[in-house]
Structure 1
Amino acid sequence: MLGADDPLPLRPRRILVAGVSGSGKTTLAGRIADAVGSPHTEIDALFHGPDWTPRPEFLDDVAALIAQPAWVTEWQYTAVRAVLAAEAELLIWLDLPFRVTLWRVVRRTVRRSRRREVLWNGNVEPPLHSMLTDRDHIIRWAIRTRRKYPALVAQTAAANPGLVVVRLCSQREVETWLRALASSASR
């Protein structure tokens, strides 16, 4: 596993960004895509259909995505994690402190809910009070799943020996790593 200061052994074309809700996966995936000149596909947009139902085309859309020579996406959804990892060259694991990710997911959720921001396929965040009744409300999900990534990343790295894994543990490390990636991509 590499850190923020370690050089990459390859120029990646197929990249995954992993982390708990609120870690900044989508933001970083977009920034990586810009740095390396690869398209970014937001995996939530492939998964969520109207009324937060899974899209029936999800698996086919992911298969089409990974068939491309270059891509960047978030590493989410149990149904596709293994196939994404098998085709990826690089997995960035955002392992930020829980206090940081919880603050981010709460702030984002409150903003989206209050503004009634339209997300994927016409969906909007549910009312904030639903956090008290919905076990899978995004804030409760973030709290409940915050400890799953260490084992998940380790298992995935073991199952995919060619997959380069970079673990970033702070926003400073994210910025350091991204600068190095952009610098190497411009050469």
Structure 2
Amino acid sequence: MQRILVVGSTGAGKSTMARGIARRLGLPFHEMDALHFIGPDWQENPDLVEQVTGIVRGPDGWVFDSIGHPRVRDLLWEHADTVVWLDYSRHVVLARVLRRSLRRTLLRERIFGGNREGVAEWFRADHPVWWAMSQYNGRRTEILRRTRDPRFAPLRVIRYGSPRSVRRPADALL
């Protein structure tokens, strides 16, 4: 296991899990949103495909915290050897993303590309809370389809149905 995707719904805890796995295995961690959003006003990275291609085709292992942005999704899945799927309930995911977004908004935390989640963003359909609610079923269906797709075999798939099923994020690969 040297090329690992940690997948799940928005707010499931993918980044936390991926960081723990990367630390445990001594692999570099790559945060998809940080690669995708590179500037103020949620500016998208025009070189995303080239950057991700360089990472996944390189000689070293890696851990990504994402199913993959649509422009690089197949690329990631074709080069991964392991998928850790945080298949948590809608209730767990929504509670987590709500707490995270409230904290980020109230504390004015800087995130990807120096951006912040502000009050105005809460009224946009692509805000993480609304995105998690609207995309939950579709994301689960997409991940399930990909884990069964012969193009991506042989992938080792480790699926967790609740946060309690993993004592520590780095335990995912034990």
Structure (1 or 2) with the greater strand fraction: 2
The alpha-carbon deviation at position 126 of structure 1 amounts to 2.2
Query: Please, what TM-score do these two structures have when normalized by structure 2?
Result: 0.90
In the alignment, structure 1 segments of 5+ residues that lack a partner are: 1-11, 183-187
Aligned to 2:61: 70
The alpha-carbon deviation at position 180 of structure 1 amounts to 6.5
In the alignment, structure 2 segments of 5+ residues that lack a partner are: none
Moved over 6 A (4+): none
Aligned to 1:42: 31
1:58-92 per-residue CA deviation (whole Å, 9 max, x = no partner) reads: 11111111123200012231111111000000011
The alpha-carbon deviation at position 178 of structure 1 amounts to 3.8
Aligned to 2:130: 140
Aligned to 2:103: 111
One-letter code aligned to 1:27: T
Task: Supply the distance in 1 between the matched residues of 2:143 and 2:101 (Cα, whole angstroms).
Answer: 26
Task: Supply the distance in 1 between the matched residues of 2:169 and 2:96 (Cα, whole angstroms).
Answer: 21
Task: Supply the distance in 1 between the matched residues of 2:22 and 2:76 (Cα, whole angstroms).
Answer: 16
% same residue: 33
The alpha-carbon deviation at position 176 of structure 1 amounts to 6.8
Aligned to 1:97: 89
Q: Secondary structure at the match of 1:140?
A: helix
Query: Please, what TM-score do these two structures have when normalized by structure 1?
Result: 0.84
Q: Say if 2:21 and 2:172, in contact at 8 Å, map to a contact too.
A: no
One-letter code aligned to 1:13: Q
Please report the RMSD computed on the Cα atoms of aligned residues, expressed in angstroms: 1.7
Count of aligned residue pairs for this structure pair? 169
Q: Say if 2:82 and 2:157, in contact at 8 Å, map to a contact too.
A: yes
1:136-167 per-residue CA deviation (whole Å, 9 max, x = no partner) reads: 11110000000123321232221311111111
**Structure exhibiting the larger radius of gyration computed from Cα positions:** 1
When residues 155 and 181 of structure 1 are mapped into structure 2, their CA distance, relative to the original with a 3 A threshold, is closer
One-letter code aligned to 1:73: F
When residues 103 and 63 of structure 1 are mapped into structure 2, their CA distance, relative to the original with a 3 A threshold, is same
Q: Secondary structure at the match of 2:49?
A: helix
Aligned residue among 50, 53, 59 for 2:43: 53
When residues 172 and 122 of structure 1 are mapped into structure 2, their CA distance, relative to the original with a 3 A threshold, is same
